[in-house]
Chain A
């Protein structure tokens, strides 16, 4: 089983749609959770951290379910500029080494 699993997609949605991505992780000792965004042929950039109580940043909402080891990202009112690959990222769960485990990513294409 992969340490972080995501549906690679692609998800093709029209502008204005709401889209949700899910991710599961295998290490119950993981404490830190993130969504990174990677545009085509570019470097990954932090989109948002994911907190236990869930958190929102504008049109983006992240949720964490520790019991099910499941993380989600909801994007409301999709824009063309949201087209990218969304990487679910989890810390390794070991002592503080900064080791992050990246999922394969879910590709989103927003169409006009």
Chain B
């Protein structure tokens, strides 16, 4: 019944490693997003995809690469992890990409700790 799911929920890793976070939505939505919430609780958009097409690509280091194999999945791969990457990463989806019409549904978050 989970609408937007993410795995893993917790990720602890060392600097320099490469890791992936997976996201799936079963709502039939067209648009998916990745957000980062830092220690000060600011939630910032990183990427969005609409029907597998990249729409939003914020100023995010190239070490972050999203991949959308189909419109129900949006994965995030991070290379060469740094201490500053420690945060909670939220996946979200919305029916369409027009902000004015559609609620965004968030996954439970992945708490990434880089040591």
Q: Give A contacts to B, CB under 8 Å.
A: 8, 31-32, 34, 42-46, 85, 87, 91-92, 96-100, 102, 104-105
Contacts and interface: CB of A to CB of B under 8 A. Distances in A.
Given A32-B99, A91-B99, A92-B99, A102 B44 contact: yes
Given A98-B31, A98-B99, A104 B41 contact: yes
B66 interface: no
Q: Is the interface of A mostly helix, strand, loop or mixed?
A: loop
B25 interface: no
A65 B8 CA distance: 41
17 contacts: A31-B99, A32-B100, A43-B90, A43-B107, A92-B99, A96-B97, A96-B100, A97-B56, A97-B99, A98-B33, A98-B56, A98-B94, A98-B98, A99-B48, A102-B43, A104-B41, A105-B41
Interface in B62-115: 90, 94, 96-100, 102-104, 106-109
Contacts of A87: 43
Interface string B23-54: 00000000101000000111111001010000
B97 to A, nearest CB: 4
B99 A102 contact: no
A100 B108 contact: no
B12 interface: no
B111 to A, nearest CB: 8
Interface of B: 31, 33, 40-45, 48, 50, 55-56, 90, 94, 96-100, 102-104, 106-109
Contacts of B42: 102, 104
Contacts of B96: 98
Nearest to A45: B106
A91 B101 CA distance: 11
A46 B104 contact: yes
B43 A98 contact: no
B50 to A, nearest CB: 8
Contacts of A105: 41
A92 B33 CA distance: 15
B66 to A, nearest CB: 15
